[in-house]
Amino acid sequence: MAESEIAPKFAPFIGMAGICFAMTFGCVGAAYGTAKSGIGIAGVGTFRPDLIMKSLIPVVMSGIIAVYALVIAVLIASDIGPPPAQNYSLFNGFMHLACGLSVGLTGLAAGYSIGIVGDMGVRSYMQQSRIFVGMVLILIFGEVLGLYGLIVALILNTKSKG
């Protein structure tokens, strides 16, 4: 494959960077959310072990952030191929970088908010059971931030065909 102006040799590098950013930033957010809310659950569990099952919700939500990042990383990876078979353009490279960054950084933001709300929410829930519905709503709104990043990344990804 001859190097052309629209498909230079370094284009796959930028696309791969998109995969890497999606996975690392998304997992940093998910890890922070899991760890921070895990601290809160450990604090609650020593006093009210019966509340552990309901307190695990922020941990499950952090897991979903990582699933979003995983989905986008798999999507991008399925579009990248070695040069003789596929002419990977620079546009695709930048687009995949944008996909990865949008899902990764929104995942980081969502994981951060889930961690803080999860930690404080379960501790408050231990003392006042009516907090639960509010806590779940706030957690859902925090997680929706990651979902927006996923939607933008999915829409961007449709541009690679054609």
List of residues contacting other proteins (CB under 8 A): 49-50, 53-54, 56-57, 60-61, 63-64, 67-68, 70-72, 74-75, 78-79, 136, 147, 150, 154-155, 157-158
Angle at 66 between CA 126 and CA 70, to 5 degrees: 165
CB of 99 to other proteins, least distance (A): 10
CB of 159 to other proteins, least distance (A): 10
Give the SS3 label for residue 4: coil
Measured from the CB atom, the residue of 77 and 116 that comes closer to other proteins is 77
CB of 77 to other proteins, least distance (A): 10
**From CA 162, how far away is CA 15, in angstroms rounded?**
17
Q: Are 37 and 118 in contact (CB under 8 A)?
A: yes
For residue 154, count CB atoms less than 10 angstroms from its CB and return exposed for 0-12, middle for 13-18, buried for 19 or more: middle
Measured from the CB atom, the residue of 56 and 90 that comes closer to other proteins is 56
Measured from the CB atom, the residue of 42 and 60 that comes closer to other proteins is 60
Q: Which of 68, 148, 145, 61 is nearest to 109 (CA)?
A: 145
Measured from the CB atom, the residue of 78 and 128 that comes closer to other proteins is 78
CB of 2 to other proteins, least distance (A): 28
